[in-house]
Structure 1
């Protein structure tokens, strides 16, 4: 290895060491996690709640939030718009009807923009006198895929290594050119 090559390698190494701390780290983004529900998942209640709510570990975006309560009869028992306040999403519930298992379905948007969805059941042990909402259509139909802008950013290649490599190469070339002059 010639002296010029060793110096060029040392220069590249030094440049890489200097540039690395300047490059900002990637954003660590975790999705919202459900931490509690009201009523509690699997709870047995003798009277229906006026609202159901889901609390998450982080603030939620108010965009595109949705919650429904579907009864054992296949009808919708939630009513009104889903409300998001901080880390809590909730929806009003009409007076419940038949005894049985009711399922709360939710779909919210995390602070990082990722959609989080799921469900939990609760059981009404004493039939109520409420009137159901409309029948729920086939809820087993697949959800269409999300647009690319909502895809996981972990799927993308980071650009900073390429920028750092280009800067190092240009710097080494300039340094070698000066040494030869």
Structure 2
């Protein structure tokens, strides 16, 4: 009888371990991603755009959105707060100045609360007559978003707890 109780406890533990490992492997939840930019990444322009925008694969929150454009001179060329409309985050530009590479930096929060950061650039081949904003060096970089904790330690802990409970229950019966 004792052998059957131990075998039953081991079988129940194995079934629970398999069930927990499968239950923890739900569908993957991907973070928001940029699917298009205007101007396009690494585009070469002869005329300065009036605004820049990034289009994401899901709706973005307007809270905490940030978008800046830094010119080849190290100054800010974006002006005003970024506008968020559905999946598009955009910011207006001052009339651009020196020719060279302009870098667009963004930080936005997706509808599910994940922070997405990144950048892209474009080249202006014809100098403009615009006046820059302040130096980008005076801006503190946004804090890097923390990665989500891994799930596997929780699954392992749950499996160990269930296994220990089954072992204890089987041992107590004898």
Q: TM-score, normalised to structure 2's length? A: 0.75
Gaps of 5+ in 1: none
The answer as to whether partners of 1:29 and 1:112 remain within 8 angstroms in 2 is: no
The answer as to whether partners of 2:79 and 2:93 remain within 8 angstroms in 1 is: yes
The answer as to whether partners of 2:74 and 2:136 remain within 8 angstroms in 1 is: yes
Q: Distance in 2 between matches of 1:91 and 1:65?
A: 10
Q: Distance in 2 between matches of 1:144 and 1:74?
A: 17
Gaps of 5+ in 2: none
Matches within 5 A, 1:18-97: 20=20, 28-97=28-97
* 1:82/1:131 CA distance change after superposition, 3 Å: same
Name 1:123's counterpart in structure 2.
123
| C-alpha displacement of 1:83 | 1.3
| C-alpha displacement of 1:152 | 2.2
For residues 20-67 of structure 1, give each alpha carbon's deviation from its aligned partner in whole angstroms, at most 9, with x where no partner exists: 599575563322222211011121222211110011222222222111
* 1:22/1:67 CA distance change after superposition, 3 Å: closer
Q: Which runs of 4+ in 1 moved over 4 A?
A: 11-14, 17-27, 143-146, 160-177
RMSD over aligned Cα atoms: 3.3
Match of 1:155 among 139, 150, 172: 150
The answer as to whether partners of 2:108 and 2:115 remain within 8 angstroms in 1 is: yes
Give SS of 1:2's match.
helix
| C-alpha displacement of 1:165 | 5.8
Q: TM-score, normalised to structure 1's length? A: 0.72
* 1:18/1:175 CA distance change after superposition, 3 Å: farther
Q: Distance in 2 between matches of 1:51 and 1:172?
A: 65
| C-alpha displacement of 1:109 | 2.1
